[in-house]
A and B are shown apart, each in its own frame.
Chain A
């Protein structure tokens, strides 16, 4: 027997491909631009969003029947903000080093439109287990794009991956640099992320033409 029913499995699989939050729903672009200059930051951000979206979706789903419709957006904001603050405080107390790396992302998580989007579109109308899977799925779909963009931007922009010099040393001219290769400084500035995301969207839609919207 499968661990998840087919319908449940799709909640995780869809956002990874045909309903990706970044490339199809075009949400969360802002953070995808801001923090993908290096791979490590992309991974950290992806994990943070995974946690906040997974837990947040469950919380919202649990209280969905008692939230007054008029102030539901405020309630959602309060849930995200409190979760993020609690995580930040706990990390500061028990994993100080990690919290320093993460502190930059805290503000970005609160404003991430994917989180509000999933609360609003899914958790408010579905049970906790489904909402949890939906949160995990969307966070993974977001994370995958972040990591891909981070990979190319760090590799082409700085010649490193996770801070390791994989292409040789640009200053002392070793490895690829000895035959005249240069880092592309354009890749480390935010607009380059748009171009990489654009290429991903292009590749994805040319492989699956159903995704192309009618003009």
Chain B
């Protein structure tokens, strides 16, 4: 079989065929798997939200352990009592508000456009949790998470995640030793919504001081840490009008 692979016409035909074959193969795989991927992502969101309000399977000081995917839907409807969409200090109930794209919602609200910020209210053991989604950027790519506060604006739990922070350094923001430090800190500094700062050298590595609005930074991950600080602050700023109505109640 002698094909002249040097001919220009052959090269062009080969390239065209390759693009068609590979393109349709990828499209076929992607659309075939889409429903399963979407469902996985929905479960993940539910797991993250529940994690932030302390519904998880953590044991001792081991790894992060979510509610299993098989149970997460039931647990989610059990613990999450209200799903709100916030616009300034106005709140409106909406089903599946947790599926709102937080990145777009925050960006739109920040630029003064339409504000449709999701906020979830959960209840566990008679306590109320206000769960605020956050979105920001780390060193390489996006970081996001959920922060849950009680009525007195004390942090009850956080969950952070990232798209591409360095494994072993910035990626550790989703490790328990980092996230657990936030518990008990307040997002208020006196009367202002300061959030919590990821601080280098705050001389409190065990995080015993819960009044300082600081948690200990990760060594080697300064920019990711600053990203977390900024993400909390920026996101809270947009929720402030609504949070104030909770405090004054």
Contact = CB atoms under 8 A, between A and B. Distances in A.
A71 B29 contact: no
Interface in B72-121: none
Interface string B217-229: 0011000000000
A47 to B, nearest CB: 14
A70 B206 CA distance: 61
Contacts of B171: 104
B6 A68 contact: yes
Contacts of A75: 14, 18
Nearest to A40: B167
B44 interface: yes
Contacts of A158: 168
A195 interface: no
A90 interface: yes
Contacts of B6: 68-70
A196 to B, nearest CB: 14
Nearest to A90: B33
A104 B167 contact: yes
A47 B72 CA distance: 30
Interface string B29-55: 110010011001001100000000000
A191 B219 CA distance: 15
Nearest to B14: A68
Residue among A66, A85, A93, A96 facing the most chain B CB atoms (10 A cut-off): A93
Given A66-B3, A69-B6, A171 B205 contact: yes
Interface residues of A, number: 37
A163 interface: yes
A73 interface: no
B5 A67 contact: yes
B interface secondary structure, majority? helix
Given A66-B14, A68-B11, A86 B168 contact: no
Contacts of B163: 103
B22 A37 contact: no
A41 interface: yes
Interface size class of B (residues with CB under 8 A): 20 to 34
B14 A104 contact: no
A96 B167 contact: no
B168 A92 contact: no
A interface secondary structure, majority? helix
A68 B5 contact: yes
Given A66-B3, A93-B40, A185-B219, A38 B167 contact: yes
Contacts, number: 85
Given A67-B5, A82-B25, A93-B36, A104 B164 contact: yes
B14 to A, nearest CB: 5
A188 B219 contact: yes
B246 interface: no
Nearest to B69: A96
A24 interface: no
Contacts of A85: 26, 29
A78 B40 contact: no
A36 B118 CA distance: 38
Contacts of B164: 103-104, 107
Contact of B5 (A40, A66, A86, A171): A66
B220 A189 contact: yes
A149 B186 CA distance: 41
B33 A92 contact: yes
Interface in A51-85: 65-71, 74-75, 78, 82, 85
Given A71-B15, A93-B36, A104-B171, A34 B166 contact: yes
A174 interface: no
Contacts of A153: 168
Contacts of B30: 89
21 contacts: A37-B167, A37-B169, A40-B167, A41-B167, A66-B14, A67-B14, A68-B10, A70-B6, A74-B15, A78-B18, A82-B25, A89-B30, A93-B36, A93-B40, A94-B36, A103-B164, A107-B164, A158-B168, A185-B219, A188-B168, A189-B169
Interface of A: 34-35, 37-38, 40-41, 65-71, 74-75, 78, 82, 85-86, 89-90, 92-94, 96, 103-104, 107, 153-154, 157-158, 163, 171, 185, 188-189
By Cβ-Cβ distance, the 3 closest A-B pairs, closest first, are: A37-B168, A93-B36, A41-B167
